[in-house]
């Protein structure tokens, strides 16, 4: 795999095997660095020039309405928040310490019982201390979202990221 910074890496030039290895390493860091992500079963499934996509597998323990079997909105919020954070890491080229300042989510419709929820997020603007993100959650068709979000995140340059604190041996950089 090319030895390059994630922020400048041209993902379209990677072979399928190189891209799969990069996604797997990014996913390991995503799960190891934030125990909450691991507990919910979240995983990174795709990296692209526009951001990253994660998945929250259906789990009956995360159901908010036992009668309908629909996942709780809090689990979907956690997925969108975490995926926005991962998109910031991708845009900055490395894990950095961040904190959610604001996350506005519009729930457009219920998730379907028994189905995994996917989220695609991108970091569309960064200043020295704040990153801005957009995300959509869907059931496999990004053109039919169940929720959309915009967020702003504080960047703490020079401080240890969650990856360095919780999983110092995890590899996420190519």
CATH of the domain at 130: 3.10.129.10
pLDDT of residue 172: 43
**Is 73 part of any domain?**
yes
Main-chain phi, psi angles of 80, to 5 degrees: -65, -40
pLDDT of residue 161: 59
Task: Indicate the number of domains in the chain.
Answer: 1
**Is 7 part of any domain?**
no
Q: Which residue has the higher pLDDT, 11 or 72?
A: 72
**Is 8 part of any domain?**
no
The answer to whether 90 and 123 are in contact (CB under 8 A) is yes
Q: Which two tokens stand for residue 132?
A: 């801005």
**Is 171 part of any domain?**
no
**Is 100 part of any domain?**
yes
**Is 4 part of any domain?**
no
Provide the residue range defining the domain that includes 98: 14-166
State pLDDT tens for residues 97-147: 899 999 999 999 999 999 999 999 999 999 999 999 999 999 999 999 999
Query: pLDDT grade, residue 28 (50/70/90)?
Result: confident
**Is 61 part of any domain?**
yes
**Is 1 part of any domain?**
no
pLDDT of residue 49: 83
């Amino acid at each position: 795999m090319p030895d390059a910074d994630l922020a400048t890496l041209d993902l379209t030039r990677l072979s399928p095997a190189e891209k799969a290895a990069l996604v797997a390493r990014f996913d390991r860091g995503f799960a190891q660095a934030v125990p909450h992500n691991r507990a919910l079963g979240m995983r990174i499934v795709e990296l692209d020039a526009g951001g990253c996509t994660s998945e929250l597998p259906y789990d009956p323990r995360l159901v908010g309405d036992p009668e309908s079997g629909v996942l709780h909105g809090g689990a979907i919020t956690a997925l969108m928040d975490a995926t926005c954070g991962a998109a910031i890491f991708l845009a900055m080229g490395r894990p950095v310490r961040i904190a959610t300042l604001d996350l506005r989510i519009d729930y457009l419709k219920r998730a379907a019982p028994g189905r995994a929820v996917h989220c695609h997020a991108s970091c569309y603007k960064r200043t020295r201390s704040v990153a801005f993100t957009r995300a959509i959650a869907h059931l496999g068709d990004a053109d039919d979202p169940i929720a959309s979000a915009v967020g702003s995140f504080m960047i703490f340059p020079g401080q240890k990221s969650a990856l360095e604190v919780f999983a110092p041996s995890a590899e996420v950089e190519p």
